[in-house]
Amino acid sequence: MNDKYCKLPNEFGIHVKSTKNEIESLEGEISFTGEDGKECWYQNKMMPIFDAQHKQVGEILVRYDITQKKIYEKLSITDALTQLYNRRHFNYVLTQEISRATRNKSVLCFIILDVDYFKKYNDSYGHKAGDDALVAVAQALDKSLHRGGDFAFRLGGEEFGAIFSSKDESSALEFADQIRKDIKALNIQHSNSDVSDHITVSIGLLVVDFATTGIDEDNFFTLADNALYIAKDNGRNRVVIHQNETLELF
């Protein structure tokens, strides 16, 4: 390990020593940002040392620098262009969030967002400009999702997704429409769009109250995608919410 790159802060040792004596061991990961601005990660295991009377007289701390491992893990779940989570991580998060919402009987929301007439944009302005536009859309989406339980994804091509919680359908619809407005407010010129002279997005929204409804991952995605199809079929540059009374239950 290169201590000049990652040096474990004193706070961890203080936390370990404050642990109650009856705990046989303490294991976990810790991250921090060094003075050079680099994020560092350690896998740590603390094992107390007891004398013959079972009085703690010390401790052994074993630590491994897992910074590179964490870097590789992040790369594996991150879209290289936009830096949002990728489709692979979306599948994992969706399963976890449905399980959590089922357990807590809470409301879970999902939007699928598609950039309107993006092929025409690429044809008009070139693929480099297309990539820049996707990055700008991704940043606007990510900026909107500022709560700890919010997740933004690039699902593929010009399609994005977001998982978030809300108190009800009305609030979720207002939130989704604000995302649409924020992206339109980027004012990215799109002279060949059939709905605007700037880039716009169409959004399909699904809101599920797991206190009264159960739905699996496949239907969760499909129903939001159906709402997106209706938004595009009805003129684009709009949000359409899937009506919950037609949810497929399990």
Q: Find the distance separating the first CA and the last CA of the chain, reported in whole Å.
A: 51
Strand, helix or coil for residue 2: coil
Instruction: Give DSSP secondary structure letters for 169-237.
Output: HHHHHHHHHHHHHHHHTT--B-TT-SS-SB--EEEEEEEEETTT----HHHHHHHHHHHHHHHHHTTSS
Which candidate in 27, 158, 174, 217 is catalytic?
158
Check if 158 is active-site: yes
Q: What angle do CA 47, 49, 55 make, to 5 degrees?
A: 130
Cα–Cα distance, 54 to 51 (Å, whole number): 5
Cα–Cα distance, 24 to 10 (Å, whole number): 21
Point out the residues that are catalytic.
Answer: 158
